[in-house]
Structure 1
Amino acid sequence: MAALVILLIRVSLCIFLLLNGVEAGRQARISGGEEVSIKDVPYMGTLRKLQNESMSAGSGFICVATAIQNRVLITTAFCIYRQTRENIVAVIGNTYIRGLSPTMKVLKIADWRWHGLYKYNEWAYDIALVFTSQDIVPVKGVIEYLPITQGVFRPNTRCIFCSWGADTTAAVLHNAPYIALRRTTSKMECYKRSLAAGVMCTYDLARVVDINRFDLGGPLKCNNTLAGVLLGNTSDEYMLFTDIYMFRKWINAGIYMHFNGIVALRASCFQWHVAVAIAVYLIIS
């Protein structure tokens, strides 16, 4: 009889958890953030300083980056603007910052490029592509690509923000990534908050997890696509992201130029054949 009562209690608890969207062994998903494993965010990686990593795993953490296709990741321009690519590596396929796993891949950087109109420490045009030397080979449930969005999201669209972040009170990185539920705002409201073009905003009534420079580049996933990369926050409720949709043609052109051997543009030179190549690609894409 006692065993039957215990069984009924367990069944009732399981039904309650299922009805409330809670998985066994996991906390309820909350707005402020919940720790997850790499299986929940297999497209997310990190950029790290090689010299620091050689001494202690996780100590070289710079920013978050997102794999969108083979050998291509997206992050913010701020994350790489004053770095040297020979001193940076991309790490994917691993849940813990301070730890190793059989699926973890450490990739050298072949090249990178940020938007030509980006100005350091400004939100506008804060986007960059990172190209790895080795292939980013998908491993089911551990390493995957997150395609960039091809559409505009309506206000109040439900999205998921992902990052590793840090405890700002202790200045120590979280060892595991976390996710937080977000909702998009209108473009007008976002512009009033950011005063920058090409930026999208999200909000939540609950206070967000402390945002700091370690969160930069964190992906915003809406409708199973990459909708934005984190720039920062304007309040406890509102977070700002580079709007991937607004830069989709720049992203496609940058990938095309990299894999076709066209060097990144510099402010001091703009060769005519590069301009023609970009124009042709954007017309036929």
Structure 2
Amino acid sequence: MARTVIIEQPGGPENLKLVDRPVGAPGPGEVRIEHRVCGLNFIDVYQRTGLYPMQMPQALGMEAAGVIAEVGEGVTHLKPGDRAAYAATPPGAYAEERVMPAAQVCPLPEGIAFDEAAAMMLKGMTVQYLFHRTTPLKKGDTVLFHAAAGGVGLIACQWARSEGITLIGTAGSDEKCQLALDHGASRCINYRNQDWVAQVRDLTGGKGVDVVMDAVGADTFNGSLDSLKPLGMMISFGNASGPVPPFNIGILGQKGSLKITRPTLFTHIADHAACQEMARHLFGKVEAGDVRIRIDQRFPLEDVADAHRALEARKTTGSTVLEV
């Protein structure tokens, strides 16, 4: 049996329940992993609220780090006793222990701590695909990144700096803006007291940015399009403020033959080899010191509802972890 956080119906943080569930043995292509630390992400909120519908009851959590306890038939890249980390489907990472598919579970280098790994797998591999698998980016390009002081944002700021890419961030307070600047953003705009679209235009000499990376969704979508240069790319990869409403695709032509995509991490990591390659790239950035993982909030597993409340209220910076 393992303590596991589940929901029985969509709703608020009060719907999160900590229960004992049987774990079982891994089948072919599976592993049993004992978690040390679990990560917290906005996708967990989307699933809890029903924005991303799931069958009920459902365990939550998409990333964690720990030790492999047992491997099933056919698993060759992991063995019992290995340190490992993952961001993967199906949900179920808010648990002391679980059985899950092995393909997206990655061997964890000794130099990376469990809490760092649990805080960075989903966020860090998201940054990896944003910068390397979505649209070509090169040294000297300019990116607008919303929520630059969040867990994904602080990794993106550092990643951009390490590759000579100019990152203009937005954040909701002067303190958060300074945090983004400290982590490598070239500029950061407080969207609560500035016209961030006008500021982006001013900072780019009226041209606009090459790429917008936007996980905020409804509140920033139109402004993001207005911040792009002609032929620019809009990457909408989240909905923290709610889903983007339907829009007339002709707007993309009117605003400069813009491109738009709505990717998900789980498409990119669906292939085992691609997932492992992305993780190695991320681990390399961290081991080289190009990216440091900032964990600003820690909650015990039993306080998961408080962690969700803090995340939804935008009271967090950097990454948040749940300690098992």
More helix by share: 2
Same fold (TM over 0.5): no
Q: Normalising by structure 1, what TM-score?
A: 0.25
TM-score, with length taken from structure 2:
0.23
